[in-house]
Amino acid sequence: MASPSTATPASPASPAAARPRRRLPYYAGLLAVQLRTSLTTAMQYRADFLVQGAMSLYWLGWNLVPLLVLFDHRASVAGWSFEAALVVMANFVILRGILEGAINPSLGAVVEQIRSGAFDYTLLRPADAQFLVSTARFAPWRALDVLGGLALLVYALVRLGHVPDLGQLAAGLVLLGAGLVLMYALWLIVVAAAFWVVRLDNLAFLLSSVFDAARWPAAVFRGTWRVIFTFVLPLAVITTMPAEALLGRLDLTTGLAAVAGAAVAAAIARAIWRLALRNYTSASS
Amino acid sequence: MRRALAALPTLCRIGLTEAVAYRAEMVVWLLTTTMPLVMLGLWTSVADEAPFRAWGSRDFVAYYLAALIVRNLTSNWVAWQIAEEIRTGTVSGRLLRPIHPFAGYLGTHLGAVPLRALAVAPVAIILVASSARAVLVTDPVHVAALVAALLGAWALTFALFVGLGTLAFFLDKPMGIIEVYFGVFAIFSGYLIPLPLLPGWVQALADWLPFRAMLGDPVAIAIGRVPDGAAAWALVGRQWAWAAGLMLVATVAWHRGVRRYEAFGG
Amino acid sequence: MIEVVGLRKHFRVHRRKPGLAAAVRSLWHRTYDTVKAVDDISFTIERGERVGFLGPNGAGKTTTMKVLAGLLHPSAGQVTVEGHRPAQRDPAFLERITLVMGQKQQLLWDLPPSETYALNRAVFGLDPAAAARTLGELTELLGLAGLVDKPTRQLSLGERMKCELAAALLHQPTTLFLDEPTIGLDVAMQVTIRDFIRDYNQRHDATVLLTSHYMDDVVALCPRVIVIDGGHLIHDGDLRALVKTMIPDKLVSFTAALPADEVARLGEVVKSEHGRITIRVPEARLREVVGHVLDRAGTDLAVEDPPLEDVMRKLFHTKRAP
């Protein structure tokens, strides 16, 4: 499917449809269309914007409750101060916003498609099925969550009196990106599961719940928990490592390992997706 | 009503069959209760450094494992189910049957309880095998109160969730309310953090809400934090009062909702 | 051009008995049956042909169509469509074909069809001007004016089907797989869609493979039919010839006041209402019967082929007989 031909920009002149081969401009255009569709739908429900704003504030406050209860009586936990833990929490809120805004919404659309059989139409389109499935739906108002998380992050850093230098900022961003890739890989595996067990309408809840552990600095978890959350479901990596990077506590090797891990996870997820697709096209009637 | 009661055993048996058939979905629902485990990880780390306000590691283990068990036994997805049926119009099929739809929902979710019990059995074994067993209640009065409390919690949860699901008759997107509800529940039931560890005003507010009766109270009874037998039974009484009240509200809401639904032609 | 050689498609299906005990047992022990949905089918369809795909429910028609569209991998056999192997889902292949499933829709439900068209335009990499022209043609031919900007859920079934067709044909495919496209539609809409398909076939020299349980669709559109039953191909050829072979009778209808035994001598009575009689007459005796009716002052004489449903019923009954 990945044809090695050079990218031809879509020329509007020739009516004999100058069809660009399946390369970046094509997929960028496709993404733009999908985004525009979701945004148009979101615009129809303008009241949702306010509702989402209220919900963002609600959950932001809610997320702070355990932190406040804990640090009311304790100065630090496993070497993490209140402000440092706040940075991790802020990362969590930001990534959660991206998860619920850009990744999870498509899940509902896909599961619905598989159940109604309309997924066949996705397979009939000459674009990569994974791409179509991943961009099926967005919830643009969740950007407010991300903004809230950023605000919290800034607040925590200010309270700490620590301004990350350029290197730390870059590392933090890269690791947040790696975390995103990791989350997406998990999401893709969950979607692949939907092929086998058709009635999984509550999958979106699963992903959100599993992500729960990423609120806390990884160091907080001991023993088996630590192993699970670092290697099996590397949730600790997703939020803690970017925090460590921003705070200047991360060493290069660990950071690189995390990025490599994210890439490996993405590859595994893609392989599982293709397996699921192969299974679907053999087994469905 | 009599017909509904007569049909109930069959409905429950079908509910159990359904639950077994859709076991993957059941597993997913069970897996979504990760919060107590995450909290357990956090608080045991905290308590290992030093007891947190007289709560040691053992206390947290007892609390959160008990909370996990109670949550999984009493929780169900009927709110989501009702909302979906109303949204897609499938609820019309139920309205055409000669027994009240609540009987059907009851059968489905009550029937799933044995399977849920099976699923939390490992957790219960872990709880009993751990050091936390020292705090678990063993005397007949408390054990009986615990059983009654579990039943009461189930009934309360069911009534509340049915009520929440019924909102779909009136609102376009009831899932938002259900989301908000969960946040409130998590705090005022003690699901997120044990109620005794929360600020005084929060605890005072929790006394006026049904949420602690859904989780916090049964857990408290189970792990011996309600030493007085009479007090334990008093909590059970409050549970059942809440359950009855919420069921009444749900029934009224349902009637209103159905009328509205039929008026606007689902 | 479509070429199918020795196609087989088998499914492994989990069989479960009803009841609680069986459900619990199935938790750890599952029995599988093999369902032979398609069992050794071969045919060739040339470019520009219109072919009807007939058979009872569960015969394997939809399965075959999905294999041809690349949605299912064959268990055995070779399939070539427009020079491609469908299972490879080559983008060049997908751009040449379209599959319309009457029971499932590709239109986005909460949004107007125009949004789905925009998506397909981007997906198929269509030049915007060309796509706009195509859409204009489709709008005119199908009568879509005023429909494409209303949310899909607000359209009636017939309106939705028309918009579905437009979405499916936006990229001007040359091979059309139509799986029950007229299901649930009223008679006028069925005629509209039939006419449209015929028109498209002629304009673009497009190959059309049609499944339908409405025999009127098949009679109106398909000179050639392929009949499948139980996964086997039991007939492939001209429709009229099939009808003549299976039921070499004609249906003669007339209005006359004739005694019952006289009518019975003319032919087998199919219907008799309000003085209007329909009898089944072997083709060999047709001249004699028609002459007789006219002699006896019968009016409103009509001679028709037997309905395709009867032909099909006989075909399947014959095949299934031990």
Segment A53-76, tens digit of pLDDT: 888 899 999 999 999 999 988 888
Segment C35-88, tens digit of pLDDT: 888 889 999 999 999 999 988 887 788 899 999 999 988 889 999 999 999 988
Identify the residue with better confidence: A229 or A104. Answer: A104
| Cβ <8 Å between A30 and C106 | no
In a domain, A16, yes or no: no
In a domain, A181, yes or no: yes
Segment B59-112, tens digit of pLDDT: 999 999 999 999 999 988 899 889 988 888 888 888 888 888 898 899 889 888
Note down the domain range covering A130. Answer: 22-278
pLDDT at A283: 59
Q: Is the pLDDT confidence value at A5 over 80?
A: no
CA distance C313 to C322: 16
In a domain, A285, yes or no: no
Question: HEC states along C307-321?
Answer: CHHHHHHHHHHHHHC
Segment B146-182, tens digit of pLDDT: 999 999 999 999 999 999 999 888 887 777 888 889 8
pLDDT at B174: 77
Identify the residue with better confidence: B257 or C247. Answer: B257
Binned at pLDDT 50, 70 and 90, residue A200 comes out as low
Q: Which of A115-119, B29-33, B66-70, C135-139 has the lowest mean pLDDT?
A: B29-33
Q: Is the pLDDT confidence value at A14 over 50?
A: no
A113 interface with C at CB cutoff 8 Å: no
Report the length, in residues, of chain B: 266
| Cβ <8 Å between B77 and A206 | no
Binned at pLDDT 50, 70 and 90, residue A22 comes out as low
Q: Is the pLDDT confidence value at B252 over 90?
A: yes
In a domain, A6, yes or no: no
Q: What is the DSSP string of chain B?
A: -HHHHHHHHHHHHHHHHHHHHTHHHHHHHHHT--HHHHHHHHHHHHHHHS-BTTB-HHHHHHHHHHHHHHHHHH---HHHHHHHHHHHTTHHHHHTSSS-HHHHHHHHHHHTHHHHHHHHHHHHHHHHHSGGGGGS--SHHHHHHHHHHHHHHHHHHHHHHHHHHHGGGT-S-HHHHHHHHHHHHHHHTSSSS-GGGS-HHHHHHHHTSSHHHHTHHHHHHHTT----HHHHHHHHHHHHHHHHHHHHHHHHHHHHHHHHHHHTT-
Instruction: Chain A: give the shortest CA distance to residue C112, in Å.
Output: 10
pLDDT at A11: 37
Q: Work out the average pLDDT over A195-222.
A: 75
Binned at pLDDT 50, 70 and 90, residue A9 comes out as very low
Q: If residue A261 lies in a helix (H) or strand (E), which one and from where to where?
A: helix A252-283
Binned at pLDDT 50, 70 and 90, residue A199 comes out as low
Segment A133-163, tens digit of pLDDT: 999 889 888 999 999 999 999 999 999 888 8
pTM tops 0.90: no
Per-residue DSSP letter, A165: -
Q: Work out the average pLDDT over B128-138.
A: 83
In a domain, A125, yes or no: yes
pLDDT at C320: 53
A4 interface with C at CB cutoff 8 Å: no
Q: Of A113-122, A212-221, B182-191, C228-237, which one has max mean pLDDT?
A: B182-191
Contact of B234 with B241, CB cutoff 8 Å: no
Q: Which of A235-239, B206-210, B243-247, C147-151 has the lowest mean pLDDT?
A: A235-239
Of A37, A41, A126, the CB nearest to C95: A126
Q: Work out the average pLDDT over A184-203.
A: 77
Cα-based distances in Å from C119 to C103, C106, C147, C305: 21, 11, 17, 46
Binned at pLDDT 50, 70 and 90, residue A284 comes out as low
**Sheet arrangement for strand C31-45:** C31-45, C2-15, C76-81
C103 interface with A at CB cutoff 8 Å: yes
Q: Is the pLDDT confidence value at A285 over 70?
A: no
Binned at pLDDT 50, 70 and 90, residue B241 comes out as very high
User: Mutate which of B10, B13, B16, B20 to test chain C, going by most C C-beta atoms within 10 A?
Assistant: B20
pLDDT at A13: 38
Nearest to A76 by CA among A155, A158, A160, A169: A160
pLDDT at C185: 87
User: Mutate which of C12, C105, C123, C179 to test chain A, going by most A C-beta atoms within 10 A?
Assistant: C123
In a domain, A283, yes or no: no
The domain tally of chain A equals 1
Q: Is the pLDDT confidence value at B213 over 90?
A: yes
Binned at pLDDT 50, 70 and 90, residue B48 comes out as confident
pLDDT at B166: 92
Cα-based distances in Å from C25 to B20, B104, C18: 10, 25, 11
Of A55, A66, A77, the CB nearest to B192: A66
Amino acid at C182: T
Instruction: Chain B: give the shortest CA distance to residue C20, in Å.
Output: 5
Q: In the A/B pair of chains, how many CB contacts fall below 8 A?
A: 88
pLDDT at A3: 41
Residues of chain B in Cβ contact (below 8 Å) with chain C: 13, 16-17, 20-21, 23
In a domain, A263, yes or no: yes
In a domain, A78, yes or no: yes
Residues of chain C found within 8 Å of residue A37, distances taken between Cβ atoms: 108, 111, 115, 118-119
| Cβ <8 Å between A69 and B80 | no
Q: Is the pLDDT confidence value at C267 over 70?
A: yes
